[in-house]
Structure 1
Amino acid sequence: MKLLAILLYPLGLLLRRKRAGTTHSLRNAPELAATRTGTLNLTSPAFAHGATIPLRHATMDLGPNISPALAWEEPPAGTRQMLLVMEDTDTPTARPGRHMVVFFAPEPPRIAEGELTADNRRFTYLLDHRGRSGYQGPRPLPGHGTHHYHFHLYALDTEADFSRANDLDALLPQLAGHVLASGHLEGTLRG
Structure 2
Amino acid sequence: MAVLGTLLRNRRPDERNHAWNQANLFGPQSLTITSRDFSDDGTLPLKHSGSRVGGQNISPHLTWSAPPTGTSELLLVVEDVDVPLGANPAVHCLALIDETRLPRPHELPPGALGKKTPAPGVTLLRSFISRGYYGPEPLKGHGPHRYVFELYALGTSLLDRPDRDALTKTRPRRLLASLDAPVLARGRITGISQR
TM-score of the superposed pair, with normalisation by structure 1: 0.88
State the one-letter code of the partner of 1:159. Answer: S
- 2:159 maps to 1:158: no
Q: Distance in 2 between matches of 1:148 and 1:101?
A: 16
After the TM superposition, which parts of structure 1 deviate over 6 Å for at least 4 consecutive aligned residues? Answer: none
1:20 aligned partner: 13
**Change beyond 3 A, Cα 1:33–1:139:** same
- 1:169 is paired with a residue whose SS is helix
- 2:96 maps to 1:97: no
Q: 2:180 aligns with which of 172, 176, 179?
A: 176
2:47 aligned partner: 56
Structure 2's unaligned 5+ residue stretches are none
What is the 5 A alignment of 1:119-158?
A: 119=116, 120=118, 122-130=121-129, 132-158=130-156
1:5 aligned partner: none
Provide Cα deviations, 1:52-90, integer angstroms capped at 9, x if missing partner: 111111112231111100000111111111000100111
- 2:26 maps to 1:33: yes
1:185 aligned partner: 189
- 1:176 is paired with a residue whose SS is coil
**Change beyond 3 A, Cα 1:9–1:173:** closer
Question: How many percent identity over aligned positions?
Answer: 37
Instruction: State the 1:170 CA deviation.
Output: 3.2
TM-score of the superposed pair, with normalisation by structure 2: 0.86
Provide Cα deviations, 1:120-166, integer angstroms capped at 9, x if missing partner: 25322222112x11111111111111111101100001111433432
**Change beyond 3 A, Cα 1:86–1:172:** closer
State the one-letter code of the partner of 2:70. Answer: G
Q: CA RMSD for the aligned pairs?
A: 1.6
1:84 aligned partner: 76
Count how many residue pairs are aligned between Structure 1 and Structure 2.
Answer: 181
Instruction: State the 1:173 CA deviation.
Output: 5.8
| Mapped contact 1:71–1:110 kept (Cα < 8 A) | yes
| Mapped contact 2:154–2:181 kept (Cα < 8 A) | no
